[in-house]
Structure formats: C-alpha cells, structure tokens
Amino acid sequence: MNTSETPSGAKDPDDLLPPSEVTRLGGLGSWQSVIFTLLCTLGLLLGLAYIFGFSAGGARLLEGEYYWVFIGLFSAAAFIALPAYAGQKKIPWYDLAAAVVVLAISLYFATHAWDMVQAGWYNLPMGVVIWLLMMELSRRSGGIPFLLVVVVLGIYPLVADHLPGLLMGIPYDFDRMIEAHVFRTEGMMGITTKIVAEIILGFLVFAGVLIATGAGQFFIDLANAGFGRYRGGPAKVSVVASAFFGSLSGSVFSNIAGTGSITIPTMKKVGYPPHYAGAIEACASTGGVVMPPVMGAIAFVMAITIGVDYATVMVASILPSLLYYLGLLLQVDAYAARMNLRGEPPEKLPAVGPVLRRGWPYLLVLLFLIWGLLYKRWEYYAPWYASLLMIGLSFLNRQSMMTPRRLLETTRQIGVLVTQTAAIIVPIAFVVSALTITGVTGSVTSGLVALGGGNLYLVIFFGVAACFVMGMAGLSIVAYIFLAVTLAPAIIEIGGLNTIAVHLFIVYYAMLAVITPPVAAASFLAATIAGAKPMQTSWTAMRLGVVIYFIPLFFLFQPALVLQGDLTPLIYVLPSIVIGIGLLAGGLEGYLLGVGRVRPSLRLPLMAAGFAFSFPGLTATIVSGVVCAFLIALIWRDNRRAGATAAG
C-alpha cells in the first residue's frame, strides 16, 4: 500500500471505523460498551481456542461445554446490546438481570455437559428459564413474526397428535419437550448452535475486520473506477459494489445500510427516481447472500444438511449468482439508455491505478480466502487465517492500520455481528427439535407427494408457496430447514433430481422473499434510505430481480447450471440463457441493448419470447429463437425509421 494515498472521502484514520449497529451501547468508553466488548472478547477467544484445538492443562473443551459457554456469553451480550423495544436508549435493570441469569445458568449447564451426553442429565426449571430467555432474544432480533413462528412450531410437540392429516406427529409432554429443545442434540446442542459457534463464526470475524479496514469504501471506489463513467454509472456501481461486499459479509441488511447509504443518494443525483434507486440497492444486496465466496449462513446450513463440504455449495452457486447480476445490470443499463441518464464525469471519479494500489490487499485477501476454501479445504479455518492476513496487511497503510482504538471498535463490531446472528439462529433450534422429535418431517414429505397427486410440478408449486410464506416473514433459514427435510425428499423421490440442485432451489426461493411484496424487508429498508414509498420500491425490486424468480427452476431441471453432472449442455444452454435474459431485460425496461427503444406494444411479446428462449430446452429455444429474431427485426426497423425522421 502507498501510505500517501487515502480512501476516497476519508479525512481522518478514524473515518473508517465502522459505526455501531446497536445504538444503546453508547461510546467505546461507556460502561455498557465495556461489558459488552468484554463478553464478546471472551466468546471470540473461546471460539478461536475451540476451533483450533487449543487446550488448557492438556484438556480440550467438550462440544457441549463450549456450546453452553458460547451461548451464555453472547446471550448475555445480546441482552445488553439489543433493546427491548424501539428507541430504548438506557439498559433497564431487568435486562441486566436477564444477562446475569442466562450467563450463570449456561455456565452451570457447561459443568454438566458430559452428563447430558452420557446419562441424559437435565434440569427442568433452569431449562424453562433458558427457553423463555431465548424466546425473548428471538423477539428482539427477529421481531414479533419471527417469535410467533418459533413459538408456534416450537410447542407443536404438545399438540402433535391432535392435528389432522400430514400434520399429525408423535406427541410430547412439556417436560420431555423442554428436555429435547434445550439439552439434546435435536435442539440447542445441535446444528443451530454449531452453525453460529463453529461454522460461520470465523466469517463474521472476517466481515468485521474487512469493514474496519475500509473494504466497503474500496469496493465502492473500485466499482466507480470501472463503471462510474458509463450511462447509469452510479446504479452499476451500486450493483457491483454490493455484489462484492455482500458476497463477503453474507448479510442483506448490513450490505444495504453500508453501501446503500453511499450509492442510493448518488443514483438519485444522476436522475434515478428514489424508488428505483432503492430497488436497485435492495436487489444488489440480496444477491450477495448467494454470491460466492462467503454467501450467507443459509449456505452453511445447506452444506451440513446434505452432508457436503462448503466448497461444493460455493461452486454450485457461481453460475446462478452471475446470471442474476447479469440480469440486474442489463436492466439498469436499459433504463439508463431509455431515460438518457449519463455517468459521472471522469474527473470526478477515482482512477483504477490509484484505487488498486491502495486496495490490492483486499483483493489479495479475497483470493487467499477462495484458495483456502476451494483448494486447501480449510472451511472453518480459512476466514480466521484471512482475518489475520488482513490485520497484518492493514499496517501497510496509516489510514487502515489496526490501532488499539480501531481494534477495540472492531472487536465490538464483530461482537455485534455475532450477537445478532446468534440471537436469531440459536432459537431456531426449537423449530428443528420440534420437527425432529415428532417425526412430522416424514409425514409432511409423504403428504406433499399425495397432495400433488404424484405430480412433480404440483409438489414444486406447493413448496415454492411455502418458501414465500415463511421467507416473507424473514425466516429464510427456518424455511430452508423445514423444507430441506420435507419438500426436498419429496421432489427427489418423485423426479429423481440432483440433490444439490434441489436444495439450492429451496435456498433461492426462501431467500428472495426479502424483495417480494407484501413483506419485502430488504426493499423496505432501502426505501427508507432512498426516501421512497416502500411498496413501490418493493414492486420495482421484484421486477429488477426477475431473474432470481425463474433461474432456480432452470437449474432444478438442468443441474449443469449448478455445475453438477454432465456439463456438456452448458455449451448451448448457457448462451441461450444469457441472450434470453438480455431480451427479457429489454422488454421490461423498454430498451434493447444494441438495437434501441422498444415500443410498448412489443415489450410484452419480447419478454415472453426472451423467457422462452432462455428456457433450458432445445425445442423451446429453437421455436422462440425464430420469434425473437422477428421481434428484433421489428424493433430495429422502428428505431431506423425514428432515426431517419429525426434526421429529416
């Protein structure tokens, strides 16, 4: 790094410090911030020691011991950081009491971890207290809709034998239900805690280090240098920067808040309407969850569920995510061309050379992370190594070096990421436990098959509807877990489809609900930043993100698109999809790249023909190709006549 160069817009080294996402922590020196940071530091050090196998006195922590101490530390931190209601600035006595209680009980449970495994030890009164406290954390982290889902599905074992049809399961009394939920591997000692405490912990640390060292600003500067001068440049910058940053952070909402606060005002300045600017940012940030190399927590859940390594999931996601961003970029470009929106003047944009000279460490760390994940198969360890490398490289530039104050703020920011993630994922253990112990997953699978009459397409339709309902409540991980053990076996049983394609199909449809009305959380957040109407923004986001609605169906029936099985069909399938997406974008936005404006009467036929041309079937591609050629000829003729008229 050249120490004479500074990130665009930075006035002071501390400008790059990430702002706290939890307002009631106060400043770094406040008592609540000190306690929070101390709890999180202990939790991170404990996680580091457990994951890398460090031991004290020759004895390594048992899995259960580590899980309970981890839950205790970060749950206590959550009660300090997460307010009980919106606008609550001070920490009331009952939150402090909850923090002390959850930490004390968890540490006590940790001392009995061995007995839990060997002798089935449990403590019902304390288990109920932990259960209730986790419910409260689910409310604070995910809101009332999330709490209702966790409660309703969590207590399902109590009434499982009274429900009709495929919802009937093995009943459990309250004592046995709490035992399974809190003390067994079906519940809190199982997959959900493992996801947070082992699998994604390192990636959350990595995201925090990247934010602290200025990676977000670097990716925005790099996107500006590459795309800012072209028509609709700020919108393309938003798409590219959010794709880069979202793929590393794995969080839709932090991506919107981080990059959107810069890109949305810039888009509005060059002529994009507020709702359109917000929709672009919402779509770009949402795609980051399924964009390698990091993706979101749901990708790790998928890897564990189907028993493959994370690298397999990451590779399978490459083509679908690139096709999604291609469709988004083409629509953004078409709108800019139709509305004659120009890019930024070159003199106002950073040059590629200085940006790369300043930010090459971020690209090096990104390549190192990909190498560690794909080639070395480090998985759990790769983000820790990448974080250490990033911290070391930060000292090459005074503007990003990890000073003591920056390190303290970074630790707190990482703590916020881990705390919020744990508070929303750990309570899902009650849903997983309820579905497992009642045996309802098998009955739902057979019920879906029966409901669809053995018809694969009907079963898929019911599954997509379930994904939307659960996903729109912000429950993409819950939706995936539920459907991975119910819908996926049904689809595979009837259609004999590729397992990874089926599960990735569920991931996509569970995730895309954040931009889909009526509860489009990502679109609403972007609309708030843009000063736009939420519903108008969400409908626009749905149109801009149209590719994500049909591409899962394509790779479900053509697994070559997720790099599974025989890849020969990609020779003709991939070009047809790319061209079809271009035609679809032209119809949606009223401007076809390389041809010109599309008159209103031809937009719908062009959309339909483009979709049919992109469908991975040779017959559909050939037939629709003839129609597409005819429509393109009409559009070309219209624009030639319009040009001749203007010239005359």
Q: What would the mean pLDDT of 502-525 be, rounded to a whole number?
A: 82
Angle, alpha carbons 192-383-376 (nearest 5°): 105
Buried b (16+ CB within 10 A) or exposed e, 383-404: bbbbbebbbebbeebebbbbee
Is pLDDT above 90 for 110?
yes
> Do residues 202 and 380 make contact, with C-beta atoms less than 8 angstroms apart?
yes
Is pLDDT above 50 for 417?
yes
Going from the C-alpha of 140 to that of each of 193, 450, 541, 543, the distances in angstroms are 18, 39, 27, 32
For residues 3 and 467, the model is more confident at 467
Q: Which of 14-18, 48-52, 390-394, 601-605 has the lowest mean pLDDT?
A: 14-18
Tens-place pLDDT, residues 214-266: 777 788 888 888 888 888 888 888 888 888 777 766 667 767 876 787 788 88
Query: Helix, strand, or coil here: 342?
Result: coil
pLDDT band at 6 (very low <50, low <70, confident <90, very high): very low
Q: Is 496 left (phi over 0), alpha (psi -120 to 50) or beta?
A: left
> Do residues 521 and 514 make contact, with C-beta atoms less than 8 angstroms apart?
yes
Q: Please state, in angstroms and rounded to a whole number, the distance separating the CA atoms of residues 5 and 21.
A: 28
pTM for the structure as a whole = 0.78
Q: Where are the alpha helices (DSSP H) in 473-617?
A: 476-484, 487-495, 499-511, 521-530, 534-544, 547-557, 570-589, 600-614
In degrees rounded to 5, what are phi and psi of residue 111? Answer: -70, -15
CA nearest 449: which of 439, 459, 435?
459
Q: Please state, in angstroms and rounded to a whole number, the distance separating the CA atoms of residues 636 and 536.
A: 32
Alpha-carbon torsion, ordered 180, 118, 123, 163, to 10 deg: 20
Q: Which of 136-150, 248-262, 292-306 has the lowest mean pLDDT?
A: 248-262
CA 457 to chain centre: 27
Q: Which of 141-145, 168-172, 245-249, 586-590 has the lowest mean pLDDT?
A: 245-249
Q: Please state, in angstroms and rounded to a whole number, the distance separating the CA atoms of residues 190 and 194.
A: 6
Q: Please state, in angstroms and rounded to a whole number, the distance separating the CA atoms of residues 483 and 441.
A: 9
pLDDT band at 647 (very low <50, low <70, confident <90, very high): low
Is pLDDT above 50 for 5?
no
Identify the pLDDT of residue 470: 65
Q: What would the mean pLDDT of 287-302 be, rounded to a whole number?
A: 78
Bond into 293 cis (ω within 30) = yes
Is pLDDT above 50 for 378?
yes
Amino acid occupying residue 51? I
Highest mean pLDDT among 11-25, 469-483, 607-621: 607-621
Identify the pLDDT of residue 192: 83
Going from the C-alpha of 141 to that of each of 82, 223, 248, 425, 480, the distances in angstroms are 7, 32, 22, 10, 19
Identify the pLDDT of residue 250: 65
- Residues contacting residue 626 through CB under 8 Å, at least 6 positions apart: none
CA nearest 177: which of 157, 150, 193?
157
Query: Helix, strand, or coil here: 548?
Result: helix
pLDDT band at 169 (very low <50, low <70, confident <90, very high): confident
Q: What would the mean pLDDT of 371-397 be, rounded to a whole number?
A: 85
CA atoms within 13 A on the CB side of 369: 28
> Do residues 301 and 275 make contact, with C-beta atoms less than 8 angstroms apart?
no
Identify the pLDDT of residue 602: 92
- Any bridge partners for residue 596, and if so which? 592
Q: Mean pLDDT score of the chain, rounded to an integer?
A: 84
Q: What would the mean pLDDT of 94-103 be, rounded to a whole number?
A: 96
For residues 99 and 223, the model is more confident at 99
Q: Please state, in angstroms and rounded to a whole number, the distance separating the CA atoms of residues 346 and 548.
A: 33
Highest mean pLDDT among 113-117, 371-375, 394-398: 113-117
Identify the pLDDT of residue 575: 92
For residues 13 and 333, the model is more confident at 333
Q: What would the mean pLDDT of 587-593 be, rounded to a whole number?
A: 91
Is pLDDT above 50 for 10?
no
Alpha-carbon torsion, ordered 131, 135, 138, 140, to 10 deg: -130
Query: Helix, strand, or coil here: 59?
Result: strand
Given the structure tokens 């672009």, which residue do they identify? 280
Is pLDDT above 70 for 22?
no
Given the structure tokens 């002071």, which residue do they identify? 12
> Do residues 578 and 323 make contact, with C-beta atoms less than 8 angstroms apart?
yes
Q: Please state, in angstroms and rounded to a whole number, the distance separating the CA atoms of residues 16 and 211.
A: 8
- Residues contacting residue 457 through CB under 8 Å, at least 6 positions apart: none
CA atoms within 13 A on the CB side of 482: 24
Going from the C-alpha of 388 to that of each of 318, 364, 368, 635, the distances in angstroms are 26, 13, 11, 55
Is pLDDT above 70 for 7?
no
- Any bridge partners for residue 597, and if so which? 591
Give me the percent of the chain exceeding a pLDDT of 90.
31
CA nearest 379: which of 314, 473, 298, 428?
314
Tens-place pLDDT, residues 388-415: 999 998 888 777 778 888 888 889 989 9
pLDDT band at 648 (very low <50, low <70, confident <90, very high): low
> Do residues 256 and 285 make contact, with C-beta atoms less than 8 angstroms apart?
yes
Is pLDDT above 80 for 472?
no
Task: Work out whether the CA dihedral 568, 574, 577, 580 comes out positive or negative.
Answer: negative
Is pLDDT above 70 for 426?
yes
Which of the 8 DSSP states describes residue 62?
Answer: P
* Concatenated DSSP letters of 11-47: -SGGGGSPPPS-GGG-STTSHHHHHHHHHHHHHHHHH
